[in-house]
Amino acid sequence: MKRLLTFICFLLWSWATHAQEIRAVKATELEKIISETDRPLVINMWATWCVPCIEEIPYFLQEIKKHNEGAGTSSDSIRLILVSLDGKENYPKQLRVFAQKRKYTAEILWLDETDADYFCPKVDPKWSGVIPATLFVNPKKGYRNFVEEQLSPEALKRELMAILK
């Protein structure tokens, strides 16, 4: 009986550690994350219904993982945040299932906002609301670039090189 109970506890723990936590944030919190970062930061704005978004996310995961595995310290690593613009009806369950199915390993936030005229300028003044959109920030290098289009693997590599220069 003890072994069975131990096994069940292990299974529950294992499942819980693989479940992706997706936290809801307001635009002001996202703005604070951007302004207070102390290391390179990539914020990708996406949605589960956006085909170009879904096509580019694997490049982000792969390239940033490759960089971070070779980074000497955590301050040299790149923080990737995938910010979902899905509707409230998809949060959190459908969004979590979607991310797990595609094996998204990056931090995922859900933007709990509906007024693009309010939240877009908080991410970047140039953002019209089109997705995919990505913000690249490195405060130590004084680097900030906002890209409002799907990135090819080559374009992403160029941006990551620029953020680290």
> How is the chain split into domains, by residue range?
20-164
Share of residues in the chain with pLDDT > 90 (%): 83
The answer to whether residues 31 and 43 touch, using CB atoms and an 8 Å cutoff, is no
**How many C-beta neighbours within 10 Å does residue 132 have?**
23
Pick the CATH number of 20-164 from 3.40.190.10, 3.20.20.70, 3.30.70.260, 3.40.30.10: 3.40.30.10
Q: Indicate yes or no: pTM above 0.85.
A: yes
Helix, strand, or coil (residue 79): strand
- What pLDDT band is residue 2 in, cutting at 50, 70 and 90? low
pLDDT of residue 51: 98
Q: % helix / strand / coil in the chain, to the nearest 5?
A: 50, 20, 30
Average pLDDT over residues 36-64: 97
Please write the tens of the pLDDT for every residue from 76-88: 899 999 999 999 9
- What pLDDT band is residue 24 in, cutting at 50, 70 and 90? very high
